Amino acid sequence: MMGHRLLIVVLAFMLFVPVVGSAQDAGRESLFSLGTGGRALGMGAAFTATADDASTVFYNPAGLSRLDFHEVSLLHTTLFEGTLYNSGTWAYPISRNDGIGFSFMRIGTDEIIRRVDGATTGEFDYSTSQAIFSYGRRLSGTFSVGASFKAVNQSLDTFSDWAVGADVGVLVDLHDHVSLGVTARDLVQPNLKLEASTEEVPRAIVGGMALRDIRLVAPLKVSAGVDVEHFADRDLKVHAGGELKFYDRYALRMGYDRDNLAFGAGLRAGPIQIDYAYKLMDYIEDSHRFSLSFLLGAPSAERFAEKPTYEPPPPPPPPTERELRIMELTDKASEFFHVLELDSALHYYRQVLTLDPDNQEIARTISSIEQELEQKEKQARKLEMAEQEIQQFVERYLAQAESFKNKKYYAAAEDMLQLVLDIDPRNIRALAMNSEIQMITEAEVSKKLSEARAAREDGRTVDAIEAYNRVLELDPDNDEAQQARQRALTGLDAAQQLQLAIDLFQRGRYQQARQRFRSVLRTDPSNAVAQDYLNRISSALAKPSTLEDLQANPDIWPLYLEGIRHMRNQEYQHAIEAWEQVLEVFPNNEATKNNIEQARLRLKSEQSE
């Protein structure tokens, strides 16, 4: 009820005072008496006692002591004849009881045409601006004071001057919703001089009363204010207005700004406040005022709320002998764990769990260490098996190389020794045998070349070809043997080629024999002997074959060796594919079949892990 009575009193005062001070008069006043802030202007600039947003920097610096938010506000106003009024204001509460603010305001007309003797000579500007720095402080629960320092500039064309001034303000809270305010503007008067004339900004005293945030119904609040403004040599001027606020987001405003009505509206969306004011003007165009404000950070009540006094917890009781033992064992276990000595860490963690069986963290640590040790043991077993397997490969390759060497299959022996050296480049047996084979090969190549030359001189072409074949088995890149053998083969007649093929067959050189018999048939397609031997070769190849048979085939032997390399590298599927190609030519080779079986078993075991 008290709030409603106060509202009726204030509204009645607002209606009475404008009538008292409405007479027209002459005299001077500050250009910035227009006011600032879209919200305040929509309420007729009656803001001296309201003073609760950033515009209080201008209206009453004492209001900086009761700001709700850190705020930045921008204003744009259109006046007459291209004149613009703009301002930017920053207000910051630095504690529960004081705040600071800064505002820059400018009224100016730009691009005025300069005329000299009727001729246009360019453009110039005319403006007045002021920068205000303010401070406000609450001295008690209901009484606040504030002061502003001003720097004022006036500029006309090439003339400009600066001056300083000062304002003071007072705020008194009579009730939770009622306040009084007084501001003395330009108490220190700025003196501006352009060329020869000096202009002094007149002092002004403004007093006001405000009714703030009276809740009529749940979503609706009302505020109202009235200011009386006095300049020297002028009658009293009155500012009065009110605001209806809905849901703390939407606002409608109406006011009486000295001699004219003003209307306004506002919208708050989160931290953004948009305000509009419209003022009816006599004799000139009506004025539109827009302001945009940003409410930054948390509300002042939240920022400066007193934090509860911290009371440290009581000291814990001294550890028992059992707890000391647990800590000692845990520290030892952790030391070993950090240097990855897992066996020792596991030993001490198990002792801790014996003393503290409900310690789930220690139990999880023990489980993870046991899993890690088990994994390492598996890897060690795999590594040991791999090393054993590699050693078996080495022994097997050495045995096969020895067998090939004894049978004078030196090229095959060297291939097997190379497999050994791929695994163990420093294997003494392989290096020694390889050197021995090279010496034997060089000696036999020299011997066979001599025999071939002698056989050719004696006209024994077949013997010469046989000798050259042996040289090429030992040294496939021997140019002399390749060229001489080709010349000898070219000079053979059908009977000699047939005899050479029969000799190769009798020595088990089935692939070479097959080539010779086919050469005979190209010359004599009806040669029954050559056809008969070809059938014998097919039958022989269908029978179980040896590694020597594979080695005699220049196309198959590299495939066999490739399978061995894949097997050694645990590439079991690739090994199987290579050996299956070997079986296409030698389907009954037991060594190749056994290799494929072993590779399939290894592959199956690997896939099941």
CATH of the domain at 212: 2.40.160.60
pLDDT tens-digit profile of 278-310?
A: 988 776 777 889 999 999 888 887 888 777 777
Residue 51 lies in a domain: yes
Please give the DSSP secondary-structure letter assigned to residue 232.
T
Residue 415 lies in a domain: no
Please give the DSSP secondary-structure letter assigned to residue 124.
E
Residue 433 lies in a domain: no
Banded model confidence at residue 242, pLDDT cuts 50, 70, 90: very high
pLDDT above 90: residue 607? no
Surface-to-core class of residue 571, CB atoms within 10 Å of its CB (0-12 exposed, 13-18 middle, 19+ buried): middle
- Mean pLDDT (the chain, rounded): 83
Surface-to-core class of residue 367, CB atoms within 10 Å of its CB (0-12 exposed, 13-18 middle, 19+ buried): exposed
Residue 429 lies in a domain: no
Give the C-alpha separation, 419 to 396, whole Å: 10
pLDDT tens-digit profile of 316-363?
A: 888 888 888 988 989 998 998 888 888 898 899 999 889 888 889 889
What mean pLDDT comes out for the span 190-217?
85
Domain of residue 51, residue span: 2-303
246 and 142 in one domain? yes
Residue 495 lies in a domain: no
Most confident of 124-138, 414-428, 544-558: 124-138
Please report the pLDDT score of residue 19 as a whole number.
39
pLDDT above 90: residue 277? yes
364 and 215 in one domain? no
Residue finishing a domain among 381, 403, 428:
381
Residue 376 lies in a domain: yes
Please report the pLDDT score of residue 392 as a whole number.
83
333 and 202 in one domain? no
- Who wins on pLDDT, 42 or 13? 42
Helix axes 428-457, 410-423, angle to 10 degrees: 160
325 and 187 in one domain? no
What mean pLDDT comes out for the span 394-401?
86
- Who wins on pLDDT, 24 or 162? 162
| Strand locations in 176-286 (E) | 178-188, 191-194, 197-200, 204-217, 220-231, 237-246, 250-257, 260-269, 272-279
327 and 287 in one domain? no
Please report the pLDDT score of residue 180 as a whole number.
94
pLDDT above 60: residue 443? yes
pLDDT above 70: residue 51? yes
Q: Which of 117-126, 209-218, 419-428 is the least confident region?
A: 117-126
Residue 55 lies in a domain: yes
Tell me how many domains the chain contains.
Answer: 3
357 and 285 in one domain? no
86 and 115 in one domain? yes
pLDDT tens-digit profile of 5-37?
A: 444 444 444 443 443 344 446 567 888 888 899
What b/e sequence results for 146-158 when a residue is b if at least 16 CB atoms lie within 10 Å of its CB, and e otherwise?
bbbebebbbbeee
- Who wins on pLDDT, 577 or 537? 577
Q: What is the 3-state secondary structure (H, E, C) of 167-192?
A: EEEEEEEEECCEEEEEEEEEEECCEE
377 and 286 in one domain? no
Banded model confidence at residue 87, pLDDT cuts 50, 70, 90: very high
Banded model confidence at residue 507, pLDDT cuts 50, 70, 90: low
Nearest-5° Cα angle at 178, 175 to 180: 110
325 and 299 in one domain? no
Please report the pLDDT score of residue 274 as a whole number.
94
Residue finishing a domain among 334, 351, 381:
381
Whole-model pTM: value is: 0.50
pLDDT above 70: residue 561? yes
26 and 91 in one domain? yes
Most confident of 109-113, 133-137, 293-297, 471-475: 133-137
Residue 567 lies in a domain: yes
Q: Which residues pair with 76 in a beta bridge?
A: 86, 290
Give the C-alpha separation, 268 to 295, whole Å: 10
Residue finishing a domain among 303, 332, 360:
303
234 and 188 in one domain? yes
Q: Which two tokens stand for residue 327?
A: 């800590």
Distance from chain centroid for Cα 271? 30
330 and 294 in one domain? no
